[in-house]
Amino acid sequence: MREELVNLIKKAIQNAQKEPPEASLAKGGKKLPKFELEEILVEHPENEKYGDYSTNVAMQIAKVIKKPAMEIARLINWKLEIENWKFLDKVEVIEPGFINFFLAKKFFLQELGQILKQKEKYGASNIGKGKTIIIDYSSPNIAKRFGIGHLRSTIIGQAIYNLYKFLGWKCIGDNHLGDWGTQFGKLIYQIKKEKVLLKDLTIEKLEKLYVKFHKQAEENSEIEARNWFKKLEKHDKEAKKIWQYCVDISLKEFDKIYNLLDIKIDYCLGESFYQKMLKRVIDEAKKKKIAVKSEGAIIIKYPKNNIPPSMLLKSDGATTYLTRDLAAIQYRLKKYKPNLIIYEIGADQILHLKQLFLATELLGWAKKEKFFHIVHGLVRWKHGKFSTRKGETIHLEQVLQEAISRAGKIIENTETNRGLLKKEKEKIIKMVGIGAVKYNDLSQHHSKDIIFSWDKILNLKGNSGPYIQYTIVRCQSVLKKKISTGRFRLEIYLFGLEKEEESILRTIYKFPEIVQEAAENFSPNLICNFAFDLAQKYNLFYNLYPIIQAETSEKKEFRLALTSATAQVLKNCLSILGISAPEKM
Residue 194 to residue 201: CA distance in whole angstroms: 12
Secondary structure percentages of the chain, helix, strand, coil, to 5: 55, 15, 30
One-letter amino acid identity for 430?
A: K
Pair (64, 174) in one structural domain:
no
Distance CA 24, CA 72 (A): 12
355 and 236 within one domain: yes
More confident residue, 84 or 366: 366
Sign (positive/negative) of CA torsion 494, 495, 499, 505?
A: negative
Q: Beta strand 297-302 with 307-313: parallel, antiparallel or unpaired?
A: antiparallel
Q: φ and ψ at 354, to 5 degrees?
A: -60, -45
Q: 80, 103, 126: which is the final residue of a domain?
A: 103
Pair 450, 441: CB distance under 8 Å: yes
Q: For the residues 549-554, what does the mean pLDDT come to? A: 88
What is the biggest distance separating any 2 CA atoms in the chain, rounded to whole angstroms? 95
Determine the Cα–Cα distance for residues 432 and 439; give it in Å rounded to an integer: 10
- pLDDT at position 516: 96
Write the DSSP symbol of residue 421.
Answer: -
Q: How far apart are the first and last CA of the chain?
A: 36
DSSP H or E run through 189: helix 182-193
pLDDT, the chain, mean: 89
pLDDT confidence bin for 485, thresholds 50/70/90: low
Q: In what order do the strands lie in the sheet with 450-451?
A: 384-385, 379-381, 450-451
Residue 305 lies in a domain: yes
CA distances to 191, 222, 229, 480 from 209, in Å: 7, 14, 16, 56
Query: How would you classify residue 51: left for phi > 0, otherwise alpha for psi between -120 and 50, otherwise beta?
Result: left
Q: What pLDDT does 413 receive? A: 76
- pLDDT of 393 > 80? The answer is no
Give percent of the chain above pLDDT 70.
91
Domain enclosing residue 543, as ranges? 396-577
Q: Hey, which residues does 171 pair with through a beta bridge?
A: 133
The residue ranking higher by pLDDT, 189 or 218, is 189
Residue 110 lies in a domain: no
Same domain, 57 and 196: no
- pLDDT of 26 reads 45
Provide the CATH number for the domain around residue 410: 1.10.730.10
Say whether pLDDT at 578 is over 90: yes
Residue 129 placed within a domain:
no
By the 8 A CB rule, do 550 and 436 touch? no
- Model pLDDT, residue 506: 94
Domain for residue 584, yes or no? no
Q: Do 320 and 432 fall into the same domain?
A: no
Identify the pLDDT of residue 27. Answer: 42
Comparing 23-32, 46-55, 346-355, 528-537, which segment has the lowest mean pLDDT? 23-32
- CB count, 10 Å around CB of 65? 13
Please determine, for residue 28, whether its predicted confidence score (pLDDT) is greater than 50: no
**For residue range 292-339, what is the model confidence (pLDDT) as tens digits?**
999 999 999 998 888 999 999 999 888 899 999 999 999 999 999 999
How confident is the model over 243-268, as pLDDT tens digits? Answer: 999 999 999 999 999 999 999 999 99
DSSP bridge pairs for 55 = 42, 99
Tell me, what's the pLDDT at 392?
A: 57
CB 25 within 8 A of CB 32: yes
Q: Are residues 381 and 350 in the same domain?
A: yes
Residue 525 covered by a domain: yes
Asked if the peptide bond before residue 21 counts as cis, ω within 30 degrees of 0, the response is no
Q: For the segment 337-388, what is each residue's pLDDT rounded down to a tens digit? A: 999 999 999 888 999 999 999 999 999 999 999 999 999 988 776 766 665 5
At residue 208, does pLDDT exceed 60? Answer: yes
Cα–Cα dist 58/55, whole Å: 8
Coil, helix or strand for 135? strand
Burial of 392 by CB count in 10 Å (0-12 exposed, 13-18 middle, 19+ buried)? Answer: middle
- What confidence category does residue 215 fall into, taking pLDDT thresholds of 50, 70 and 90? confident
Q: Are residues 257 and 316 in the same domain?
A: yes
Q: Is the pTM of this model over 0.75?
A: yes
Is 64 inside a domain boundary? yes
Rounded CA separation 6/4 (Å): 5
Question: H/E element holding 99?
Answer: strand 98-103
For the cut 90, the answer to whether the pLDDT of residue 507 exceeds it is yes
DSSP per residue over 239-268, as a string?
Answer: HHHHHHHHHHHHHHHHHHHHHHHT---SB-
Question: How many whole angstroms separate alpha carbon 203 and alpha carbon 188?
Answer: 14
- The residue from 385, 409, 435 where one domain ends is 385
pLDDT at 157: 97
Q: What is the DSSP letter of 32?
A: P
Phi, psi of 524 (to 5 degrees): -60, -20
Within-domain flag for 130: no
* Continuous H helices in 443-464: 454-457
Number of domains in the chain: 3
Q: Which residue has the higher pLDDT, 527 or 489?
A: 527
Choose one of 385, 416, 431: the last residue of a domain: 385
The kind and range of the H/E element at 478 are: helix 465-481
Confidence at 207, pLDDT banded by 50, 70, 90: confident
Say what the pLDDT of residue 383 is: 66
Task: Give the CB-side neighbour count of residue 235, counting CA atoms within 13 A.
Answer: 2
- Whether residue 291 contacts residue 298, with contact meaning beta carbons closer than 8 Å, is answered with yes
pLDDT (0 to 100) of residue 1: 85
